[in-house]
């Protein structure tokens, strides 16, 4: 009964805490309510049995401590339950899965534990009051009371330290200087200069041992009035992500430029290069792409997926010389972190030492078919893109967006990004009177987070590309 009370109370706290959780039994790879309920139930039951059930001694202090312990240990147990039916028989993969659970648990605990621990302690007190009739009254006092009081003090200090940590991480100022960019082009480069800039970028790539499939790509129409679509690929992917998309857009009459973002596309897929790339490098690469697009002569549409979607949203906020910005499933923050804790999580990832994490713990070497994409992501890189997103949202709260048109794609089946952070930016733009086109990809389609790369599992590029083309057609009035 105590486990059920903890589970129900934890579900209510999770809902009001704003953690994005899927329906009762969510899609594969997505934390759902059943995982949360079962994980908290297991931890709450064990904590109650250890402190109350074995001795039959019930008190408000014991209930509160049982709840606090449930708040602490629910993080890894909930995530472990989520991974339970996907455990790999390979030792190395299973170890990587366990490490991933540990890392995500730590991130969640350090950013939201200050709220979870005292909340679950209160739920423990409620459980004590509800279950009092089932326990006989104590006679002669509780010999373990002194130890319990000491434990209570430790947990109280821990909760205070978590509050201080969260407040500190939240009030740390964002580094705007590395994100705001240089601003609009006073005089766009000419056509020849734009081509020369692209060739210079390719020459720089030739100095790096990159995968040939990951070189920057430029498809040019004969007409110099043709609109240009800039597509910014996702984190750990490369221009090969748009191998099928780029020709499709070219056939529709667009120039297509797919630049390689810094640190991506190296031949050594286990490289740690992403750990050394800063937000300013990604912003500079985006500005260079915009300059090339402007020099080609026609309208410029900056689009991107995930990390590229963050840079697209940034260009929509910061660049008046962008005709349209299309952000597809922008990664402003991980789904496991509530929107109100995202800034703290951003600063935490930037302050902690970098950790290389496998995208798929069951397959730490990555997909053989996608031999151009990195199987690991740097936590520092995640922090850099979250920083760009946080600064963009902060600027959007104060200033109207500068791009001529804005569009956002939200994938309801996405298991990676926090949709509430996307909603936050859209609301900020709309508050300034901007018209924002929002394309919602229905959950029923089951499209993966990376809905652009045709080699992704569960990819349906025919549907995804048609939705993207609809957004483009709206931007150029076709």
CATH number of the structural domain spanning residue 441: 3.40.50.1820
Number of structural domains found in the chain: 2
Residue 176 counted as domain residue: no
Please, are residues 236 and 262 in contact by the beta-carbon 8 Å criterion?
no
Q: How confident is the model at residue 29 (pLDDT cuts 50, 70, 90)?
A: very low
**Residues 356-367, mean pLDDT to the nearest whole number:** 77
How confident is the model over 31-66, as pLDDT tens digits?
A: 678 888 888 999 999 999 988 887 777 888 888 889
**Residues 398-405, mean pLDDT to the nearest whole number:** 95
Q: Which two tokens stand for residue 287?
A: 């500005």
Please, are residues 89 and 318 in contact by the beta-carbon 8 Å criterion?
no
Q: Does pLDDT of 16 surpass 70? A: yes
**Residues 175-204, mean pLDDT to the nearest whole number:** 89
* pLDDT recorded at residue 54: 79
* pLDDT recorded at residue 136: 72
Residue 72 counted as domain residue: yes
Nearest to 463 by CA among 442, 477, 478: 442
**Residues 282-298, mean pLDDT to the nearest whole number:** 95
Helices (H), 18-144: 33-48, 60-83, 91-131
Q: Does pLDDT of 373 surpass 50? A: yes
Residue 139 counted as domain residue: no
Locate tokens 């931890």: which residue?
A: 43
Same domain (yes/no): 167, 298: no
Nearest to 440 by CA among 455, 454, 426: 426
**CA atoms of 279 and 77, how far apart (whole Å):** 34
Same domain (yes/no): 422, 342: yes
Same domain (yes/no): 152, 220: no
**Residues 287-295, mean pLDDT to the nearest whole number:** 96
More confident residue, 235 or 166: 235
Same domain (yes/no): 404, 439: yes
Same domain (yes/no): 472, 325: yes
More confident residue, 357 or 198: 198
Same domain (yes/no): 331, 398: yes
Q: Which two tokens stand for residue 444?
A: 């029923």
* pLDDT recorded at residue 144: 58
To the nearest whole percent, how much of the chain has pLDDT over 90?
Answer: 53
**CA atoms of 133 and 131, how far apart (whole Å):** 6
Q: pTM (2 decimals)?
A: 0.82
Where is 346: in which H helix or E strand? helix 342-351
* pLDDT recorded at residue 86: 58
**CA atoms of 77 and 73, how far apart (whole Å):** 7
**CA atoms of 457 and 450, how far apart (whole Å):** 9
Backbone φ and ψ for 301, nearest 5 degrees, come out as: -115, 120
Same domain (yes/no): 359, 290: yes
Q: How confident is the model at residue 174 (pLDDT cuts 50, 70, 90)?
A: confident
How confident is the model over 89-101, as pLDDT tens digits?
A: 566 556 666 776 7
Q: Does pLDDT of 140 surpass 70? A: no
* pLDDT recorded at residue 116: 82
* pLDDT recorded at residue 26: 47
Give the range with max mean pLDDT: 12-21, 117-126, 306-315, 356-365.
306-315
Residue 104 counted as domain residue: yes
* pLDDT recorded at residue 249: 97
Query: Sign of the CA dihedral 226, 228, 229, 233?
Result: positive
* pLDDT recorded at residue 27: 46
**Residues 454-470, mean pLDDT to the nearest whole number:** 92
**CA atoms of 156 and 146, how far apart (whole Å):** 15
Locate tokens 């679509």: which residue?
A: 229
Residue 177 counted as domain residue: no
Same domain (yes/no): 253, 367: yes
More confident residue, 232 or 368: 232
Backbone φ and ψ for 305, nearest 5 degrees, come out as: -115, 135
* pLDDT recorded at residue 163: 80
Same domain (yes/no): 303, 327: yes
Would strands 436-441 and 228-232 be described as parallel, antiparallel, or unpaired?
Answer: unpaired
* pLDDT recorded at residue 30: 56
* pLDDT recorded at residue 21: 64
Query: Sign of the CA dihedral 358, 362, 367, 368?
Result: positive
Q: Does pLDDT of 476 surpass 60? A: no
Residue 267 counted as domain residue: yes
User: Across all residues in the chain, what is the average pLDDT?
Assistant: 87
Give the range with max mean pLDDT: 55-69, 159-173, 364-378, 419-433.
419-433
Same domain (yes/no): 418, 471: yes
Residue 468 counted as domain residue: yes
Same domain (yes/no): 116, 246: no
Would strands 376-378 and 436-441 be described as parallel, antiparallel, or unpaired?
Answer: unpaired
Question: What count of Cα atoms within 13 Å lies in the side-chain half-sphere of residue 250?
Answer: 15
Same domain (yes/no): 162, 186: no
**Residues 389-399, mean pLDDT to the nearest whole number:** 96
CA 217-232-353 angle, 5° bins: 120
* pLDDT recorded at residue 56: 76
**Residues 6-16, mean pLDDT to the nearest whole number:** 86
Q: Does pLDDT of 258 surpass 50? A: yes
Please, are residues 257 and 231 in contact by the beta-carbon 8 Å criterion?
yes
Residue 466 counted as domain residue: yes
Please, are residues 32 and 6 in contact by the beta-carbon 8 Å criterion?
no
* pLDDT recorded at residue 95: 66
Strand partners for 325: 302, 406
Q: Does pLDDT of 477 surpass 60? A: no
Q: Does pLDDT of 313 surpass 90? A: yes
Q: Does pLDDT of 418 surpass 80? A: yes
How confident is the model over 202-225, as pLDDT tens digits?
A: 999 999 999 999 999 999 999 999
Domain extent for 264: 182-476
């Amino acid at each position: 009964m105590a486990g059920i009370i903890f589970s129900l109370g934890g579900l209510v706290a999770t809902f009001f805490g704003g953690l994005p959780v899927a329906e009762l039994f969510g899609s594969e790879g997505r934390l759902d309510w059943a995982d949360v309920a079962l994980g908290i139930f297991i931890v709450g039951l064990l904590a109650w049995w250890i402190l109350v059930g074995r001795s039959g001694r019930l008190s408000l202090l014991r209930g509160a401590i049982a709840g606090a312990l449930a708040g602490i240990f629910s993080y890894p147990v909930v995530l472990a339950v989520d991974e339970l039916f996907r455990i790999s028989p390979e030792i190395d993969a299973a170890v990587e899965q366990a490490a991933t659970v540990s890392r995500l648990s730590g991130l969640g605990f350090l950013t939201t534990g200050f709220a979870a621990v005292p909340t679950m302690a209160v739920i423990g007190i409620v459980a004590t009051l509800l279950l009092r009739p089932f326990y006989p009254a104590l006679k002669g006092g509780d010999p373990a009371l002194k130890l319990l009081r000491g434990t209570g003090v430790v947990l109280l200090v821990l909760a205070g330290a978590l509050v201080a940590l969260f407040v500190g991480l939240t009030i740390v100022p964002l580094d705007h200087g590395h994100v705001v960019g240089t601003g609009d082009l006073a005089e766009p480069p000419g056509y020849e200069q734009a081509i020369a800039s692209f060739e210079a970028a390719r020459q720089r790539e030739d100095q790096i041992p990159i995968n040939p499939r990951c070189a920057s790509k430029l498809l040019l129409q004969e007409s110099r009035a043709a609109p240009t679509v800039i597509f910014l690929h996702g984190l750990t992917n490369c221009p090969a992500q748009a191998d099928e998309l780029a020709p499709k857009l070219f056939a529709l009459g667009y120039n297509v430029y797919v630049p390689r973002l810094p640190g991506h596309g190296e031949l050594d897929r286990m490289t740690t290069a992403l750990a050394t790339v800063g937000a300013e490098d990604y912003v500079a690469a985006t500005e260079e792409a915009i300059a090339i697009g402007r020099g080609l002569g026609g309208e410029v549409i900056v689009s991107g997926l995930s990390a590229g979607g963050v840079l697209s949203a940034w260009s929509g906020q910061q660049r008046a010389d962008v005709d349209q910005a299309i952000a597809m499933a922008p990664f402003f923050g991980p789904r496991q972190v509530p929107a109100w804790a995202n800034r703290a999580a951003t600063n935490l990832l930037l302050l902690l030492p970098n950790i290389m994490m496998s995208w798929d713990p069951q397959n730490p070497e990555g997909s053989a078919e996608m031999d151009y994409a990195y199987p690991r992501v740097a936590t520092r890189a995640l922090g850099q893109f979250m920083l760009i997103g946080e600064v963009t949202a902060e600027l959007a709260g104060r200033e109207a967006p500068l791009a001529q048109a804005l569009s956002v794609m939200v994938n309801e089946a996405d298991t990676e990004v926090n949709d509430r952070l996307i909603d936050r930016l859209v609301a900020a733009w709309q508050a300034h009177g901007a018209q924002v086109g929002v394309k919602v990809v229905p959950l029923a389609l089951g499209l993966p987070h990376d809905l652009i790369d045709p080699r992704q599992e569960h990819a349906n590029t025919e549907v995804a590309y048609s939705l993207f083309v609809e957004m483009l057609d709206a931007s150029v009035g076709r």
